[in-house]
Structure formats: structure tokens, C-alpha cells
Structure 1
Amino acid sequence: MRAYRKETIAAASGLALLVAAFVVPHLDLGIVTPLINASPERIRDFADTAPIFGWWDTHIGWGTVPAVVLGFAAVIWGQALALRLNWRALLLGAWATSAAWAFSLAMVDGWQRGFAGRLTARHEYLRQVPTVTDIPEAVRTFADRILDYQPDSWITHVSGHPPGALLTFVWLDRIGLGGGTWAGLLCLLAGSSVAAAILVAVRTLADERTARLAAPFVAVAPTAIWVAVSADGYFAGVAAWGIALLALAVRRRGRVPELSAVAAGLLLGWAIFLNYGLALMALPAIAVLLCAADWRSALRALLPAVGAAVVVAVVFVAAGFWWFDGYHLVQERYWQGIANDRPFQYWGWANFASVVCAIGLGSVAGLGRVFDIAAIRARAGLHMLMLGALASIVVADLSRLSKAETERIWLPFTMWLVAAGALLPERAQRWWLALNVTGALLISHLILTNW
């Protein structure tokens, strides 16, 4: 029994946190609540299912049967297939399964409500796309339109992110792929590709067997609920491949590792112009660098990557957008809105309950094995990746700029944590995976998530 103590304690702690986060909003504990200064209608709109953003709605849909079948198949045959398939087939299979799983969960809510219409809502990027008639001018004046209560203020999601996010959907529209379906498909494909990126990084920094054991967990992760469809799924995909390519460069894999480093820098540089919070991907990146064989290998990967990231920043500066101006204005815009009514006394810890929902209790159990002093001293690859992602989440939480909706906002970090399931004893992994799948199915069918 002692062999299972760490994961049991971790899972039990995660479950207790989850129960507390769902129960506390109904105990009338003053500011230890998800929303203050609010009418019953506003509480229903923004805090009905805290710590998840959504509404209670027991329902089934076209995606119910495929989701159940995929989840069941992953639990029964996932590990065996992951250990047997050739490596390339495993990567493609994990990506395809993750995409099918995410799409099925989205379709539980129906085609329009669950997929095609998600990114056309009034606060979303696609509502702003038709107003961008001059792209250079939009970038040049982007920071001027961030603050709220101006005649030409950007809508909520556009104002809350650097211009790269809006530009992506504008460019998609310009090439004839406008509308919610194409935008949703981009987010779905990019977000589900994180499964393959994680396997590449884990194989590179740890070993192939560990990566194979992680495959079922990342393929049918509960995070898929918010990958399809939210722009944060796209952001997560860009950042994840940046980290995976950096890992390849650090371990000197491939014919020209420097090219991997440059590609990593370009992707991570682009990522911070998609989402200000992705500056925190520096922490997983540092974890990857710490896995280098020596400081020379780390430096040979770091310098080209930083140089490429700087190039991305210089392009935006030349276009008229300075990242730090946008960041400071976004903080001001943040406090102009609902953030003032979301007390940190609740969200400071309830954010972590949303992480439990996003990664599943099975992966929480795996995190119980991450804090292994011997493995950390040895700079074990998977442990370092998990610690980097955890550090990003803790810093994001302490910033007080992430209160609520973190099951979506923190996707670029939480999707990595799902791989912690590979640290669990092999013979028990199927049962922990079943717990993840069950949790995802329950959330999808009991809560109508906002994303």
C-alpha cells in the first residue's frame, strides 16, 4: 500500500479541493465567493458552476456516443497500442485521437453551440474581424484601443491579447477561410497537436517508454473540452511545439539542432504576441534548458532561440506595437471589468480546482510522484517539464490576473500536466486513465461550458 501512497494522497487532495470549490459558493461566506456585488441573474451568468465557467445543464448530443466509445477504447487498449505502435504512427495516432476526442466532446453541445458558433460570440475575435480593413493601421493603433469605455475599444478578447491573436483570424478570413467553422478547425487541429508535441518533448528529455506511457493520457485528456473550441487551444499548440523543438535542440537531436532552436524561438516569440500570459512559458523553457547535458549544449540551443524570438518582437515594433505598452494597458483593462468582482479570496485557490477538472484526478495522482528529490536532482526530463508547467501556473495565479476561466486560459500549461500519468505504476495506469475519462464525460454532459 505504501507504494501507492503518493498518488493516493495527491488524488484525495485534488478531490477535496474540487469539492470545496464547488460547495463554498453556496455557503454565503462573504468575499470567499466567486462573485461579489452581483445580482442573482449575474451570478447565474458568470458563477453558476464555479470554479468552471458554464451553466448546469444535463444533456446529451451527437458527440455523446463517439466520446464514450473513444474514452472506453483508450482505457482498454490505449496503453497496449502505445507500447506497440511504431513511433511515427504513435505521434499521428495521439494527435488524431486527441482531435477526435475534442471534437466529440464539443459535439455533445451540438454543431452550432458546441463548435461552429463558439468563436462567433459577441466577445470573440471573429466579431472584430470585419472591422479590420487596414492591417498595418490596426497593428499601429492596437494599444490605443485596449482600454474600455472608448468609442473604438476592441471587444473583450481582442483587447485582452496582443495583436497576433486577432491577426491570425483576420489572415484566415483573408485567404477565404472566414467564419466560425474554419476558426474552430484551426483551434482544434492546433490544440490537439499538443498531444504529439508533448510526446516528442518527453521522449527527447526522458525516454521513449515514458513518452509511450504518457500517450493515452494526453490523447484523451479532459483539457480537450476547452481545446474545442477556444483560441487558447491554438495558443497552446504554438507554445507546445516551441517547447518540443527547444528540447530537440537542447539534446542535439536531428541533423541541424540549431534549426530546431531557431524554429523554437520563432514559435515561442509568436506565442507571446498571441497571449501575454505565455511569457510564462519561459519557465518550462528553463526546465528544458536544465535538462541539457552541459551548459554548452544549453547555450547552443538558447542563443539561436532567443535571437529568433527577438526577430519576431522587432517585426512587431517596426509595425508599431510595443509589447510592454500593451501589457500594461491590458492590466488596466482587466480591472475595468468583472475582475473587480471576482475576489482573490476564492479564486486564489479555486483556480487550482479548475486545474483538477482540466487535467483529471488521474493526472493529479501522477503529480504526486513529480516531487521526487532524487529525480529532480538528476534533472529527470518528465519531472522537470511538470515542475516548469506547475511553476507557470503558480506564478499566473499569484499575479492576480487569472481569476476564473483558468480551465481555458491555462491550457498552454495544464495540457503538459496531463502527461504526469506516465509516472504512475504501469499496472494501475488504466484505472487512473478511466478516472480522467469519466471526469471529462461528466463535465461535458452535466455542464454547458462557456467554451
Structure 2
Amino acid sequence: MRTSRREAVAVAVGVLLVAAAFVVPHLDLGIVTPLINATPGRLQAFADTAPIFGWWNAHVGWGTVPAIVLGAAAVLWGPALAQRLPWRALPWAAWATACAWAFSLAMIDGWQRGFAGRLTARHEYLRQVPTVTDIPEAVRTFADRILDYQPDSWITHVSGHPPGALLTFVWLDRIGLGGGAWAALLCLLVGSSAAAAILIAVRAMTDERTARLAAPFVAVAPTAIWVAVSADGYFAGVAAWGIALSALAVRGLGPWPGLAAAGAGLLLGWGMFLNYGLVLMALPALAVLVCAPSWRAALRVLVPAVVAAGVVAAVFAAAGFWWFEGYLLVQDRYWQGIANDRPFQYWSWANLASVVCAIGLGSVAGIGRIFDIAAIRRRSGLHMVVIGALVAIAFADLSMLSKAETERIWLPFTVWLPAAAALLPPRSHRWWLALNVIGALVLNHLILTNW
């Protein structure tokens, strides 16, 4: 396999970044460290495997064999199968594969520790669900309980997000699907569906050939390690379908483009009330609009999408929660916690090392081909949306409101990056796909990730 200079440089930078992020914490370089003002016990709890949040624990589990078999099958037959399947079946196949891949990776840690118990931890949403006895009152007083050190403060993850995240799990509980297993299943199904949404968006914005080339990389992306067992996987799925619907609307595909545009607005608007950081999905969404065949086509999508997103905001405002108030308060809460002891001097670049681990070196090689001036000038959809996701990551990083845990927190952006591997020479796809799969398996077997 011959590798171009751009791919080689991208991968070399990725490898060096990851190596430095794992080595630097052990060099005693002052504040260039993952955690300051910490006892040995706190270092072990929060920075044992920095830049990844987890603990060194070489292990195997029930998911080991299925994960290896599925990964090997994807490498050996995935590219050919993606070319042969009828298009209508391909997004479904990608979704099913992504779901099985994510679940098998989770099961390496076991049913309780790896799947059913993850969302029942003391800082997670499910711990708060039993305390919500009056949903309207909870929304109305939500902002009052964001700051820490109050008798009725929300627990960590609830306080750090708008009320939509907590409401999702409360509603799930109210319909009789309470507990960690059902919550994890929701995150798994919605999060893994991002694979289908990405293929649909790439086909709409670029072409079917590119979507087919991207399919195996999207289906068995290393991001699946965190999709299966974190609410951010759910957030990523919601945002991905918002972008996919906007791509269909921009290209005028489907019987009702206007309805697709409104649906995109509803999903992206709902996403803003799941995670404050999803306001940055406006950048990939803008990239989609830039790819519109004309400014009129862009407006035909933008107007109904903005109106629909505004409806979501209006409903929450009428219920008593104002997004901007919550956002300002959550910044104060952020600095009340461990973020104050996570130096930007390390995490400003170690965050990016976490991204490399989460997307795999095959995806990094694909990103090396994204910055193609000719493709950008002709507004190639795949190039534009991946650049939009990268710019969103840059803004999130520079905000200093994402220090550590970005392999999970940035899932709504990083799930798009493996699609960049479609730009690699097809004859090299099995090699790069194998590198992604092996990376995910090694990471999941050597580190017991916190999610």
C-alpha cells in the first residue's frame, strides 16, 4: 500500500499527539499535567489513563470474541459488501453493524459494569430521576438548582446540561422503561443510528459512491466505545439526524423537502436542550447550507429550520427555562468542580489526542485529505461537513469548557470524522479500516473506560 504525504503527515501527527498525551503526565512538568492539587488517590480516580478517562485494566469479557469477529468481518468483507448492497439496505446495514459493534465493545466489560450499570453511577442522570416527582416544577426551577453547594443542587451531569437530557430519562421511566439497561439501550440505538444518518447525508451532499466508500468506516468506528453507554451517544444520534434531514432538504430530495427542513430544525433545536455544546452543531449545519445549489435553496431550508428550532426554545421558555440563563450558570458550575484542577496547558492539546483515540488512525488519514482546496471551492459536501465538525471541535477546545472526557463529550462532532476515510484510495481501505478496528479493540481491552 502506498501512502501519500498528506496521509503520512496526518497519521504521524496523530501518533505523536497520542504518545505525548499518555507520556507527559508521568514527566512531572508542573501544570502541564492532567490534574493539579490532587492526592495520589484523586490522580488515580480521574487521571489514571489520561488523556482517556478510565483505568488501566487489561481484561477480556463476553464481548471480546463477538467484537473481534465483527471487526474482522468488517475489514475482510465490509468494503465489498458496501458496494453490492442495494442503497435502501445500506443505511440499515450500517446501523445494525454499528449497534452490534458498540454493544460487543461494551460487553467486553461485562453486562453490569459495561452496559446496564453505566448510567446508574452517582453522577449520572438516572440517580436524579426518582427525585423528579413534578415535571413542570422541575423545568421551572431547573436553573435555580444548577450551581453547586446548595441543598437541592442537581447532580453533576444533570446540572451540566439543559433539562432535555434529564427529561428524556424521566419520560423513559414514566412509560415503564426505568433502570440502567433501558437507558443504555436508548443511547445505543439512537447513538448507533448516527451511522445511517451520516451515510444518508454524505449521499445527499456528495454522491452515492462516496457514501458507500464511507460505510464500513462509519459502521465500525472506534467512537462506538462511548456511544453504547453514554448519554452523549444519544445526543450524537439526534444531532446526526438533524444534519441528515437538512442535507436532504438542501438537495430537494424526498417528497417533502420543507418538512425535512422543519424536522432538521426540531432535532437540532432539541439537541440544544440536551447539551449546551450542541449549539456548535450550527457549524456543520452551516456547512450543509453552503453546499446548497443556490441561495434560494439554502433559504428554503434555513427559514423552516430556524422556525422549528425556535418552537422548541419557545416551549422551554414557556415552561420556565431560558437557555441563555442556564448556559451562564453552567459555566459557573463548571468551574466549581474538577475543571478548576484540569490545566488548559495540558488539556488544550490532550483533548485532541482523545479525539485521535476516538476516531482511529484510519480516520485521521482521511482527514489528511479533507483540506483539498479544489474540493472546497466546488463545495464538496463531505469536505464541508467534516471541516464544519473540525471547526466545532476547535471552538469547543478553545472555550476551555471541554477539558478531559472529550472522547465522550465531543461525540456529536467526532462521529462525522470517520467518513473522511472515504477519500482515501479504495485499494487502501482494508488497511486503514483494520487500523481503526485494532485500535478500538486494544483501547477497550487495556483500559476500563469510565463510559
Q: Note whether the superposition's TM-score is higher than 0.5.
A: yes
Unaligned stretches of 5+ residues in structure 1 = none
2:108 matched to which residue of 1? 108
SS in 2 for 1:369: coil
2:442 matched to which residue of 1? 442
1:154 matched to which residue of 2? 154
1:191 matched to which residue of 2? 191
1:381 matched to which residue of 2? 381
1:268 matched to which residue of 2? 268
Correspondences of 1:70-219 after superposition (within 5 Å): 70-219=70-219
Q: Which amino acid aligns with 2:302?
A: L
SS in 2 for 1:335: helix
Does residue 1:222 correspond to 2:232, yes or no?
A: no
Q: Which amino acid aligns with 1:143?
A: A
2:318 matched to which residue of 1? 318
* Seq. identity, %: 80
SS in 2 for 1:51: coil
Q: Deviations over 1:12-53 (max 9, x none)?
A: 110010000000000000000000010111000000000000
2:18 matched to which residue of 1? 18
Aligned residues: 451
Q: Which amino acid aligns with 1:287?
A: A
2:353 matched to which residue of 1? 353
SS in 2 for 1:407: helix
CA separation in 1, counterparts of 2:392 and 2:429?
Answer: 26
Question: Following TM superposition, by how much is the alpha carbon of 1:2 offset from its aligned partner in structure 2, in angstroms?
Answer: 8.2
CA separation in 2, counterparts of 1:88 and 1:447?
Answer: 37
1:420 matched to which residue of 2? 420
1:60 matched to which residue of 2? 60
Correspondences of 1:278-293 after superposition (within 5 Å): 278-293=278-293
Q: Which amino acid aligns with 2:379?
A: R
Q: Which amino acid aligns with 1:90?
A: L
2:9 matched to which residue of 1? 9
SS in 2 for 1:31: coil
CA separation in 2, counterparts of 1:327 and 1:63?
Answer: 39
2:331 matched to which residue of 1? 331
Q: Which amino acid aligns with 1:447?
A: I
Question: Following TM superposition, by how much is the alpha carbon of 1:8 offset from its aligned partner in structure 2, in angstroms?
Answer: 1.1
Question: Following TM superposition, by how much is the alpha carbon of 1:228 offset from its aligned partner in structure 2, in angstroms?
Answer: 1.2
CA separation in 1, counterparts of 2:70 and 2:367?
Answer: 25
SS in 2 for 1:38: coil
CA separation in 2, counterparts of 1:446 and 1:341?
Answer: 26
Q: Which amino acid aligns with 1:31?
A: I
Deviation larger for 85-94 or 185-194? 85-94
Deviation larger for 3-12 or 244-253? 3-12
CA separation in 2, counterparts of 1:405 and 1:418?
Answer: 19
SS in 1 for 2:439: helix
CA separation in 2, counterparts of 1:197 and 1:418?
Answer: 13
SS in 2 for 1:148: coil
CA separation in 2, counterparts of 1:23 and 1:431?
Answer: 27
Q: Which amino acid aligns with 2:394?
A: V
CA separation in 2, counterparts of 1:84 and 1:134?
Answer: 52
SS in 2 for 1:55: strand
2:309 matched to which residue of 1? 309
Question: Following TM superposition, by how much is the alpha carbon of 1:447 offset from its aligned partner in structure 2, in angstroms?
Answer: 0.1
CA separation in 1, counterparts of 2:427 and 2:5?
Answer: 15
CA separation in 2, counterparts of 1:95 and 1:445?
Answer: 24
CA separation in 1, counterparts of 2:170 and 2:248?
Answer: 32
SS in 1 for 2:416: helix
Question: Following TM superposition, by how much is the alpha carbon of 1:117 offset from its aligned partner in structure 2, in angstroms?
Answer: 0.2
SS in 1 for 2:55: strand
Unaligned stretches of 5+ residues in structure 2 = none
Does residue 1:69 correspond to 2:76, yes or no?
A: no
CA separation in 2, counterparts of 1:425 and 1:355?
Answer: 23
Deviation larger for 3-12 or 110-119? 3-12
* TM-score, normalised by the number of residues in structure 2: 0.99
* TM-score, normalised by the number of residues in structure 1: 0.99
Question: Following TM superposition, by how much is the alpha carbon of 1:89 offset from its aligned partner in structure 2, in angstroms?
Answer: 1.1
Q: Which amino acid aligns with 1:127?
A: R
Q: Which amino acid aligns with 1:252?
A: G
Moved over 2 A (4+): none
